[in-house]
């Protein structure tokens, strides 16, 4: 055998040995919680509660204190400064709640320059209500978002005549009319609730549709407004009648309003067609009776947007795909604690059922 052949055989044998070597099993630790003291490479010290992961890593979680040492500087002694002694300046400390190794919950932070923050945190940032006190005596107390003054708050200056009280955005006090800002903030909160109404109604409707088919009428009729339960909140509105159509039509058509629709645009060469969601459902939250787009102007007798859930509060929904358009208006009945179907129009609806007289 040639020397080249022997070399190839040795190489092959070596590869076989390497393949036979088994990788050491990865040690898996049991998740647990505890209390302890950690010292980090930068000499920071944590004393408090922790959680141990399956990897063995211990992260700060629960209540605890973190001490961060300051910088060492030469002590100034005399003009010649011959001393080599050092002083530690600029240390920081956080005492509060932790989650996933980050400041999260209520806590107090002392900064190296003497400033102090006491309030709420989220994932390592000042979020929620809190108070920041500056070393020069100034202070801010109010709402925070991502480390910045954001929301309603008060800024106190050394000169009491220069104090600010009102709305802050991204760390700055807004000079816009404060009454307008308060109203704007109030409406934003109401809009957040009302914009979730379609999903809330969809869920309750689907739950009703899953009932016994033999008694489906009993499950669905409570969703329809009538003159008795909603008449005093509307003017010249013809409420939909459940008996005008078969239950299956109502089940399918209301479901169609809320379900997502997709389309497939022309695919490029060498690529598969990708479904793109259509902007099917549009929501209108009228402030007054003049802001309706489905109901006639003047149809609303109840005040709108006074609170999140008031009698006669209205949410208008328009679902459109190609040549089908369904208009649905939901109204809230506070006594029933329920959103009811106040108006319904489907341009593809079948002819109404004619009830035979007995």
Residues 154 and 231 in one domain: no
Q: Is the pLDDT of residue 2 over 50?
A: no
For residue 94, count other CB atoms closer than 10 A to its CB. Answer: 21
Domain boundary among 171, 191, 211: 191
For residues 311-318, give the mean pLDDT.
Answer: 96
Which DSSP string do the residues of 147-179 spell out, in sequence order? Answer: TEEEEEEEEE-SSGGG-EEEEEETTEE--S-HH
Domain boundary among 147, 172, 191: 191
Q: pTM (2 decimals)?
A: 0.52
User: Tens digit of pLDDT for each residue in 222-243?
Assistant: 999 999 999 999 999 999 999 9
Question: What pLDDT is attached to residue 346?
Answer: 95
DSSP assignment, residue 56? S
**Total domain count for the chain?**
2
Percent of the chain with pLDDT over 70: 80
Sign of CA dihedral 166, 170, 172, 175: negative
Beta bridge partners of 167: 152
Q: Are 327 and 294 in contact (CB under 8 A)?
A: yes
Query: What is the three-class DSSP state of 281?
Result: strand
User: Tens digit of pLDDT for each residue in 56-75?
Assistant: 899 999 999 999 988 655 54
Question: What pLDDT is attached to residue 95?
Answer: 96
- Asked if residue 221 is part of any domain, the answer here is yes
**Domain extent for 52:** 32-191
Domain boundary among 172, 191, 210: 191
User: Tens digit of pLDDT for each residue in 18-30?
Assistant: 555 566 666 777 8
- Asked if residue 10 is part of any domain, the answer here is no
Range list of β-strands (E), the chain? 32-39, 45-52, 58-68, 71-74, 86-89, 92-99, 102-110, 116-122, 125-133, 139-145, 148-156, 164-169, 172-173, 262-263, 276-277, 281-284, 314-321, 324-333, 338-346
Q: Is the pLDDT of residue 323 over 50?
A: yes
Residues 67 and 154 in one domain: yes
Instruction: Report which secondary-structure segment, H or E, holds 258.
Output: helix 247-258
Residues 6+ apart with CB under 8 A from 272: none
């Amino acid at each position: 055998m040639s020397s080249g052949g022997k070399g190839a055989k040795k190489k092959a044998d070596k590869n076989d040995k390497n393949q036979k070597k088994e990788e050491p099993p990865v040690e898996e630790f049991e998740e647990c919680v505890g209390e302890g003291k950690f010292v980090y490479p930068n000499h920071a010290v944590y004393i408090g509660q922790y959680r141990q992961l399956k990897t063995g890593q211990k992260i700060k979680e629960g209540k605890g204190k973190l001490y961060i040492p300051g910088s060492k500087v030469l002590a100034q002694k005399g003009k010649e400064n011959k001393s080599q002694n050092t002083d530690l300046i600029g240390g920081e400390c956080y005492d509060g709640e932790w989650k996933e190794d980050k400041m999260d919950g209520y806590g107090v932070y002392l900064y190296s320059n003497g400033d102090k923050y006491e309030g709420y945190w989220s994932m390592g940032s000042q979020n929620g209500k809190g108070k920041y006190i500056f070393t020069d005596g100034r202070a801010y107390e109010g709402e925070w978002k991502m480390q910045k003054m954001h929301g309603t708050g008060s800024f106190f200056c050394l000169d009491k005549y220069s104090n600010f009280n009102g709305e802050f955005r991204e760390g700055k006090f807004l000079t816009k009319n404060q009454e307008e800002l308060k109203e704007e903030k109030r409406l934003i909160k109401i809009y957040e609730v009302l914009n979730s109404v379609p999903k809330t109604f969809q869920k309750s409707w689907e739950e009703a549709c899953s009932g016994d088919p033999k008694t489906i009428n009993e499950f669905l009729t409570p969703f329809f407004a009538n003159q008795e339960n909603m008449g005093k909140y509307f003017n010249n509105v013809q409420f939909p009648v459940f008996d005008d159509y078969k239950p299956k039509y109502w089940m399918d058509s209301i479901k169609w309003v809320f379900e997502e629709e997709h389309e497939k645009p022309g695919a490029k060469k060498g690529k598969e067609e990708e479904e793109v969601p259509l902007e099917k459902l549009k929501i209108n939250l009228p402030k007054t009776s003049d802001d309706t787009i489905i109901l006639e102007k003047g149809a609303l007798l109840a005040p709108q947007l006074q609170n999140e859930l008031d009698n006669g509060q209205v949410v208008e929904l328009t679902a459109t795909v190609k040549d089908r358009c369904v208009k649905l208006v939901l109204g809230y009945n506070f006594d029933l604690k329920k959103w009811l179907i106040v108006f319904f129009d489907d341009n593809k609806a079948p002819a109404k059922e004619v009830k035979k007289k007995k």
